Homo-oligomer: A and B are copies of this chain.
Amino acid sequence: MSEVRGALEALARGRPVLVYDADGREGETDLVVASQFITPSIVRTFRKDGGGLVCVTLPHDVAKRIGLPLLEDALRRLGDHYPLLGDLLKGSPPYDARSAFSITVNHRGTYTGITDRDRALTISRLAQVCAEAMESNGMKAHSAFAREFRSPGHVHLLIASNPLLESRKGHTELATALTMMAGLIPTATLCEMMADEGGALPKEEAKKYARGRNLVFVEGQEILEAWGKWSGSWLRESLISSI
């Protein structure tokens, strides 16, 4: 069984998987789980064993329907009122052309928003609102989102690029592609894995962590190849069904 197939099966069972992007990019492993299966215990594992930011991906189309902008685009528009914010956008991150960050949110039913229980509530409702947004129009998606969430919050939203995995091949896109290929609600929750020595967890140590816990470790290149086949066959099928 390929690593990607193993990852899809694990995600569909609500298990976390480890995703390494690429040697030339961040060179970083993220813990990834399908957002619909988040639990307070998974949030705890992510913050304790990962140590980075707990973030939730949304497909570009869903974010657009809801009305969520990339943070960069939003900050750019603020440059007139707050010239500093325009200046802080200058130059790109060293590892990619742009960051995938959107805003931060808390579910309105949370208290501080930061506890494992609060973040799990925010994330599981994000998954449901994402599923609903895919089947509704923009107006409805917008009001459903605003009814449930508040900003600023403690969960970072990430918006995947469009078309997926063409211009940008980051953890946001890789994890979103996995949830789509697994036939799940297309949102993943992820957290970067850090080492004790001040840097990112080296690839070999991340693999060791995965082996020790019987988790799947999968690399960006493998996901890209699987995605190429999967989206190709989906495209062919939809072309055939459209003629």
What are 27 A-B pairs at a CB distance below 8 A?
A26-B111, A44-B51, A44-B196, A47-B194, A48-B48, A53-B53, A67-B83, A68-B82, A71-B151, A71-B152, A74-B81, A75-B151, A83-B142, A84-B145, A88-B105, A90-B146, A91-B108, A91-B150, A93-B112, A101-B104, A114-B192, A114-B200, A115-B198, A116-B194, A116-B198, A116-B199, A117-B199
Q: Are B94 and A111 in contact (CB under 8 A)?
A: yes
* Residues of B close to A116: CB separation below 8 A: 194, 198-199
Taking CB atoms and an 8 Å cut-off, the chain A residues in 183-227 that contact chain B are 192, 194, 196, 198-200
Q: In the complex, are the beta carbons of A117 and B198 less than 8 A apart? A: yes
User: Shortest distance in angstroms between A141's beta carbon and chain B's nearest beta carbon?
Assistant: 9
Which listed residue, B44, B67, B146, touches A194 by the CB 8 Å rule? Answer: B44
Of B26, B41, B105, B112, which is within 8 A of A192 by CB?
B112
Residues 84-124 of A at the B interface (beta carbon under 8 Å): 84-85, 87-91, 93-95, 99, 101, 103-106, 108, 111-117, 120
**Residues of B with C-beta under 8 A to A149:** 88
Which residues of the other chain, B, contact A120 by a CB distance below 8 angstroms?
Answer: 198
Which of under 10, 10 to 19, 20 to 34, or 35 or more describes the interface residues of A?
35 or more
